[in-house]
């Protein structure tokens, strides 16, 4: 991130220059307004507040938020499709929804003001990653009900960039347009960026010859191994953007390219907490737990203490007074229990990338053919690894899993390019138990 990019980010966004005390005063003011708005206009919140015996007037300090009830995905699904909105439908300018792969989708609504806020926060995120007015942005997130494509699109326009609205899929065409249109920035899932890297290599084109200088990756957890893989292959800054549709969409938090030490939460619009996933108790700064968000400026669908299920730690701000969070280590609902051992797919991914001959394309399958859990990991070899090296890499990964995680696994190393590629969020785990 150049000094010019840093200067532009802070010049355009006075909120980034706030001191902590000033920021917390703004949060308290906006939180009071949000609680009153939710209580007055959302029957679900009025019912849950009353059941807990709390009222918006009970909030006198930020810490009092812990007295209020949590919101979960189940609450949103119970209100399907539009009963969680806090404004009349005539004021709802747009709706988005989750995929609904594990039940009814969660539907979210936006007023015109909400869309403007969202666009400006994505624009802020682009500037934090080093983007500047006039740059070309290749949007590879899917368009439609998913918040990724349109969220990135409107945000890039708000940042004064030129948008290339490619959407997901058509990998060969993605690469061709990247060569022809010469974008400066790509916004896409990290797993699909790896599929694009494979396509560059298939075409015999050096990915480092592309015009890209910045990658803004989100919609799924990814670790330092994936960052290194992408940055070294393309010669770019790879930065993490965080969001979820229930809270807003992409742009809730963004990593600064200057530090790459975890996404900075835009705390003038979202108040974070870390809670114990089991008890719901609020944990101190630096403690590992579940990330919880309360929106501070949303009109159509404010969310109070929304449980994201993402596991991380809150950390002090580096570039601004706004706090950041550590890389997501997994999700409460993604944790695998294999023969009594708790393990997250992200742990397996990091160990795969620790093995020099293995590529970051893998599948995890859990079964219980008899009485015991069995773990199968299919992983691709790097293109330069000869078949004779497959057994050695398989043994190395199996040893690391046993020694560092405490689980046994059958490892199948496949030839480069044989496993299914994701064109959006990667589906890594199949549980057949």
Query: Tens digits of per-residue pLDDT, 374-405?
Result: 899 999 999 999 999 999 999 999 999 999 88
- Separation of alpha carbons 259 and 239, rounded Å: 10
First-to-last alpha carbon distance for the chain, in angstroms, is 47
What is each CA distance from 138 to 149, 316, 343, 423, in whole angstroms?
Answer: 10, 32, 35, 15
Q: What is the pLDDT of residue 34?
A: 98
Give bridge partners of residue 164 from the DSSP assignment: 138
Residues in the chain: 433
- Separation of alpha carbons 76 and 303, rounded Å: 10
40 preceded by cis ω (within 30°)?
no
- Separation of alpha carbons 141 and 219, rounded Å: 9
Helix 171-181 vs helix 190-202: crossing angle, to nearest 10 = 80
With b for 16 or more beta-carbon neighbours within 10 A and e for fewer, the 216-225 pattern comes to bbbbbbbbeb
Whose structure tokens read 């969070």?
A: 325
Q: Long-range contacts made by residues 196-200, C-beta under 8 angstroms, separation at least 24? A: 196/140, 196/171, 197/229, 197/230, 197/233, 197/234, 198/417, 198/421, 199/171, 199/172, 199/174, 199/175, 200/175
Residue-wise pLDDT for 139-194, tens only, equals 999 999 999 999 999 999 999 999 999 999 899 999 999 999 999 999 999 989 99
In what helix (H) or strand (E) does residue 355 lie, and over which residues does it extend? none
For the cut 70, the answer to whether the pLDDT of residue 231 exceeds it is: yes
Q: What is the pLDDT of residue 427?
A: 79
Kindly report the pTM of this predicted structure: 0.85
Residue-wise pLDDT for 219-230, tens only, equals 888 889 899 999
Among residues 257, 199, 188, 191, which one has the least CA distance to residue 223?
191
The DSSP letter of residue 55 is -
- Separation of alpha carbons 415 and 413, rounded Å: 7
């Amino acid at each position: 991130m150049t000094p010019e990019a840093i200067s532009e980010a802070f010049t355009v966004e006075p909120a980034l220059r706030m001191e902590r005390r000033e920021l917390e005063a703004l949060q308290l003011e906006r939180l009071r307004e949000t609680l009153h708005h939710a209580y007055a206009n959302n029957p679900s919140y009025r019912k849950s507040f009353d059941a807990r015996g709390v009222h918006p007037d009970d909030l006198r300090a930020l810490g009092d938020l812990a007295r209020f009830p949590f919101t979960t995905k189940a609450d949103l699904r119970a209100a399907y499709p539009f009963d969680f909105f806090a404004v009349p439908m005539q004021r709802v300018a747009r709706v988005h929804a989750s995929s609904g792969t594990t039940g009814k989708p969660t539907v979210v609504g936006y007023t015109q003001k909400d869309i403007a806020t969202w666009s400006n926060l994505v624009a802020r995120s682009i500037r934090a990653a080093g983007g500047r007015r006039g740059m070309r942005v290749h949007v590879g997130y899917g368009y439609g009900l998913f918040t990724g494509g349109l969220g990135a699109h409107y945000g890039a326009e708000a940042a004064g960039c030129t948008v290339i609205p490619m959407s997901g899929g058509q990998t060969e065409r993605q690469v061709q347009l990247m060569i022809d249109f010469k974008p400066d920035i790509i916004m896409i899932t990290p797993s699909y960026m790896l599929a694009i890297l494979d396509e560059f290599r298939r075409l015999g084109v050096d990915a480092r010859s592309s015009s890209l200088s910045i990658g803004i990756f989100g919609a799924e957890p990814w670790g330092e191994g994936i960052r290194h893989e992408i940055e070294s292959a393309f010669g770019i800054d790879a930065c993490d953007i965080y969001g979820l549709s229930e809270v807003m969409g992409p742009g809730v938090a963004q990593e600064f390219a200057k530090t790459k030490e975890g996404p900075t939460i835009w705390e003038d619009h979202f108040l974070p907490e870390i809670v114990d996933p089991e008890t719901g108790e609020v944990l101190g700064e630096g403690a590992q737990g579940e990330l919880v968000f309360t929106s501070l400026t949303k009109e159509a669908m404010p969310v109070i203490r929304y449980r994201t299920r993402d596991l991380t730690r809150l950390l002090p701000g580096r570039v601004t007074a706004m706090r950041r969070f550590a890389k997501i280590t997994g999700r409460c609902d993604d944790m695998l229990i294999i023969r009594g051992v708790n393990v997250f797919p992200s742990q397996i991914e990091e160990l795969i990338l620790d093995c020099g001959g293995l590529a970051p394309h893998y599948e995890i399958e859990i079964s219980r053919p008899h009485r015991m859990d069995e773990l199968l990991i299919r992983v691709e070899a790097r293109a330069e690894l000869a078949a004779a090296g497959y057994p050695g890499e398989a043994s190395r990964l199996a040893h690391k899993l046993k020694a560092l995680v405490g689980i046994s696994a059958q490892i199948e190393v496949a030839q480069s390019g044989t496993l299914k590629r994701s064109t959006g969020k990667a589906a890594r785990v199949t549980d057949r138990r």
